[in-house]
Chain A
Amino acid sequence: MDKQQQSYREEAYELLAELEVSLLELEETPDDEDLVDQVFRAMHTIKGSSAMFGFDAIAAFTHEVETVLDLVRSGKMPVTKELVNLALKSRDQIKCMLDTPEIKTNENEDIIKQLKRLSTGEKVQEPKPLIDLDMKMNIEPEPKSAPENITESALVTETKIPEETEIPKETEIPEETIQEKNDSESGEPRAVISYRIRFKPDPQLLVYGTNPFQLIQDIEELGDTTIVAQTNRVPDLFEIEPDHCYIHWDIILTTDQEIEAIRDVFIFIEDKCDLHIEIIDEDGEIEFGSDYKKLGQILIERKDISSDLLKQTLQKQRRLGEILVESHATDQGHVESALAEQDHIRTVREKRKQSTTTSSIRVDADKLDTLVDLVGELVTVQATLSQKAFSSEDTELIGIAEQVERLTADLRDNTMSIRMLPISTTFSTFKRLVRDLSNELGKEVSMTTEGGKTELDKKVIERLNDPMVHIIRNCIDHGIEKPDIREKAGKSRTGTIMLVAVHSGANVLIKITDDGGGIDPQKVHSIALEKGIVSPDTELSDTETYNLLFAPGFSTAKTVSDISGRGVGMDVVKRSIEALRGTIEIESEMGVGTTITLKLPLTLAIIDGLLVEVGKEYYVLPLSAVEECVELTQEDRVRSKGRNIAWVRDEIIPYIPLRDIFECKSEVPPIEQVVIVEIDGALIGYVVDTIIGEHQTVIKTLGRVYRGAKEFSGATILADGSVALILDVHRLSILAETLERKKVVN
C-alpha cells in the first residue's frame, strides 16, 4: 500500500471515529441540524477520498448511505432510532472494508436494502421517530421511559426557537481565550474550564459602597463571560428601598484560571453575599461536537425547577421556557440565564474543536517510537559521558557534561510528553459499547466520565482498551440490574457506569464504577470452594475474596453468555494490567455497586527503579512497588531458624533470596539487604547484596534469547555500559513459590 493510500486510511479511520460520536449524539438530540450536517459531511468526505484512492467498493457503498442521509439533511426524512442504528451499522461496515479490503461480503447489500426500505417509508421494524418534523419544538420521544432522574435525552433543547436562539449573535468568545494557554512558569498547558457562578449579594451591598460594575469587570478580566442579571426580586415602587440591591447574577465564565481566582474577586464581600461556583465544562471530557446540556437539565441542576415538573411540562409539548414562565414555575430571567449558559458552552466547544484541528500535525507513530528509542540511547551515552567527566576531574569537561545532562533531561521529558495522549481518546469509544450492549441486554445504562484530560503513554492506552472493554462488559452484564429490578430496589431505572481517571504520583488511577447490585462475597467464596480455589478452612477478608475473581477459571455467572461469564476474563484482565506494570483492585458493596480501580504507570518507556546488586550483577526493581528496605544480618537468619522470614517491627515478612533464584556462587556479604515490595496487598521481601540507589531507567526490550524469561520485564544500560535486568516482582514471586513447592515435594 503506497503512502497516499495509507494516509487515506488514517484519515478515514479518524472520520469514522468522529462519525460514531456524532451518530450517538444525534440519537440523543435528533433535531440538531449541525449534527446531521456533520454526519453527512463525514460520509461525503469518506466517499470522495475512497473514490480518489481506488477504494471503489467503499465509495459505492458510502454513496448509498449518503443518499439517505441527504434526505435527512433536506428535512424529507426524520431521524429515527432505526436510522441511527443503520447508520452505525454502515459505519462499522465501512471500517470492516477498510480493515480487510480483500474480503467481500453480502453485508453491504443487506444494509443498502434496509436503508432504501427506510427511506421509502417501508419500515423494517416499528419506527420510533425521535422527533416529529411538524413539531416546532423538541419533545421527549418516549415519555414513558423518562426516568425519575431526567436523562439528557429526556430534556428539550430550544435550538429551533428563533427568539430564544438569538443569543448566539450576542455571545462572542474570542478564539485565543478558548485555546489552551501555557503557564509561563511550568510550560504545562492549562485547562480551559467553564464555571457557573451564582452571585446573590446582600441587599445592603450597595449601601456598603460596593460597585457591582467593578465586580463584573473583574470577572470579565478572567476570561469570557456571559452575564445574566436576575430582576425577579425587584419590588414595585411602593415597596422598594432604592438604595438596596435586589438583583442577583448568573455568570458563565470560561477561563484557564483556578476557582480561587474567581473567589478572589469576591473576597471583600464574601460575608455579604451568597456565592456558588461550579464547573460545568472542562477540556478533555467526552463531548460531542459543540452540543451542550438541554435547557431543562440546566434548570434542574441549578435547582430552579424539579425533574417532576419538567416531566409534566414536557407532556404539554410546548416550548419549555415559555411554559415554565407562563405557569410562574420560574422566572424568565432563569430561563434566559440557562439558555445563555447553553449557548456559551456550545460556542466554547465549537471554538475548542476548531483550535484543536488547526494546532496539531499528523506524525507517523513509528517515527515517534524511533525518536523515543533514540532519546533512550542518548540518555545512556550522556550518563557515560557524565561518569567519565566526573572521574577525569577536568572542570571544563564536567561543565559540558552537566550542560548535556540538563539538555538530555529536557529532551527526554519533552519526547515522552509527545507520546502522551488524553485518556478521553479511549473513553469515547466505550460510549458505543455501553449503548449497544445495554440495548442487547434490555438494560438502561448511561456512561459518564471524569478526568478525560488525564494523559497516559500511547502504548499504555492502546493496551488498556481490551481489559477495559471486558470490565465494562462485566459491569453491564453482571453489575447493572434490569430496569424493573432497579425500580423495585428504589433506584432509578437507568444504571450508571462512571469512568474516572486521576493522576496519582507517577501513576494514573482509572476507576470504573457501576451503581449495580454489587458483588456478593459469600457467593464468591462458595464458588471458590466448589471449584477448589480455596480450602474450606480458609478465612478471607472481603478484599481477598474479591481477588478470587481473578483466579483462572473462576466465574460467578450461572450461564455462559456472549457477553461475559466464561470465567476466562478477569484473570486475563489482571494479567494484561500487570503486563503494563499496573495493578487492579475491586471494591464492592451489595446493592450499591462496584468499583474496579486500575493503577497504571504514566509511561512504559521509562521506569523509576531501585538499582540493586546481586552477585556482581545489577538489577532494577520498580520503585513504585517498593515499600521499604531493611538489613538482614547473620543474627537475623539464626533467629528465623533457617526459614526465609524477616522480622520487621514485629511483623513477619517472607522473603526470597535472589542469590538462590539466580544461583550466585560468589561469597554472601555479612549484611544483606531486604527490599520489601507489595504484591496484591501482601508484603514480600527480595534479598539482595547491596542497594545502589534510585535510578531512572530507560527500558530496553529484551532480545529473543531472553523472551522466555518472564521474570524480567526488560533491561537497561547503566552509565558504565553494563546491563541491568529489570525484575518483574510479581512473576518472580510466582517462580519462587513454584521452586519452593518443588523443594518440598522432593
Chain B
Amino acid sequence: MNFQMDTSGQSGTISINEPVTIENVSEMKNVFLDAYKKTNQVNIQFESLADIDLNGLQLFCSAHRTFSKAQKILRIDLTNAPIFKKKAKIIGLIRHKGCHLEQSDNCLWRK
C-alpha cells in the first residue's frame, strides 16, 4: 500500500492491493496519517481486497471520522472491494445513520 499526491497537487490517492488485517494496520495507520498531513482530499483505491478484519474496519472508521472532523475529504472506492461491506455487515457495522461524531453526514457504515 502507498500514498501518492495526484498531479494536480490538490489531492492524493492511497492504493491498496493487499489484505488489511491486524498484521499491517499499524503500517496502514501511518499511511493515513501521512496523507492527512499532506492534503485535504484523499481517495482510496483498492486494486483488490482479499480480506479485511475488525482491526482494518475499525481503522477505516477512525480515519473517516478524523478526516470528517477536520472537514477533509476521504473518498473510498469500493468497486474492487466487495468484501469490505460484506464483512462490515456480518459484524453489525452497517446502519441507517452515522454517529454524532460524523460531521459530513456520509458515514462509512451507512446503507
Q: Which residues of A contact B (CB under 8 A)?
A: 163-164, 166-167, 206-207, 211-213, 216, 227-229, 231-232, 234-238, 240, 242-243, 245-247, 249, 251, 325-326, 328, 331-333, 336
Contact = CB atoms under 8 A, between A and B. Distances in A.
Interface residues of B, number: 33
B91 A227 contact: yes
B92 to A, nearest CB: 3
Interface in B19-37: 22, 25-26, 28-29, 32-33, 36
B96 A164 contact: yes
Given A231-B58, A231-B99, A236-B66, 6 more contacts: A164-B96, A164-B97, A231-B93, A237-B62, A242-B25, A325-B97
Closest 5 CB pairs of A and B: A227-B92, A242-B25, A229-B92, A236-B66, A237-B66
22 contacts: A164-B97, A166-B96, A207-B22, A212-B91, A213-B54, A213-B87, A229-B92, A229-B93, A235-B62, A236-B62, A237-B29, A237-B33, A240-B59, A242-B29, A242-B59, A243-B55, A245-B54, A249-B92, A325-B100, A332-B95, A332-B97, A332-B98
Contacts of B100: 325-326, 328, 331-332
A328 to B, nearest CB: 6
Contacts of B97: 163-164, 325, 332, 336
B66 to A, nearest CB: 4
Nearest to B108: A231
Contacts of A237: 29, 32-33, 36, 62-63, 66
Interface of B: 22, 25-26, 28-29, 32-33, 36, 53-55, 58-59, 61-63, 65-66, 69, 87, 90-93, 95-101, 109, 111
A216 B91 contact: yes
B11 to A, nearest CB: 18
Contacts of B98: 332
A540 to B, nearest CB: 61
A242 B26 contact: yes
Given A163-B97, A232-B99, A247-B54, A240 B91 contact: no
B96 A167 contact: yes
A333 B100 CA distance: 9
Contacts of A164: 96-97
Nearest to A229: B92
Contacts of B109: 231
A246 B63 CA distance: 14
Contacts of A216: 90-92
B12 to A, nearest CB: 15
Contacts of A236: 62, 65-66, 69
Given A166-B111, A237-B32, A242 B55 contact: yes
A238 B61 CA distance: 13
B16 to A, nearest CB: 15
Contacts of A336: 95-97
B21 to A, nearest CB: 10
A164 B97 CA distance: 9
Contacts of A211: 53
Contacts of B61: 231, 234
Contact of B55 (A206, A232, A328, A333): A206
A356 to B, nearest CB: 30
Nearest to B26: A242
B29 to A, nearest CB: 5
A156 B38 CA distance: 47
Contacts of A238: 33, 66
Nearest to B27: A242
Contacts of B69: 236
B30 to A, nearest CB: 9
Nearest to B28: A242
Contacts of A325: 97, 100
A251 B90 CA distance: 12
A207 B58 CA distance: 14
A243 B25 CA distance: 7
A246 B62 CA distance: 10
A199 to B, nearest CB: 10
Contacts of A206: 22, 53-55
A212 B54 contact: yes
A482 B97 CA distance: 44
A224 to B, nearest CB: 14
A228 B95 contact: yes
B94 to A, nearest CB: 8
Nearest to B32: A237
Nearest to B68: A236
A243 B101 CA distance: 22
Nearest to B88: A229
Q: Which of A164, A166, A328, A332 has the most CB of B within 10 A?
A: A332
A336 B63 CA distance: 22
Nearest to A201: B54
A238 B66 CA distance: 8
B108 to A, nearest CB: 9
A632 B104 CA distance: 90
Contacts of A227: 91-92
Contacts of A251: 92
Q: Which of B28, B69, B87, B99 has the most CB of A within 10 A?
A: B99
Contacts of A235: 62
B58 A245 contact: yes
A580 B104 CA distance: 68
A243 to B, nearest CB: 5
A228 B53 CA distance: 17
A234 B101 CA distance: 10
Nearest to B35: A237
B4 to A, nearest CB: 19
Nearest to A166: B96
A234 B90 contact: no
A243 B66 CA distance: 18
A234 B65 contact: yes
Given A164-B96, A242-B28, A242-B29, A247 B58 contact: yes
Given A234-B62, A237-B36, A243 B22 contact: yes
Nearest to A227: B92
Contacts of B93: 229, 231, 247
A359 B100 CA distance: 46
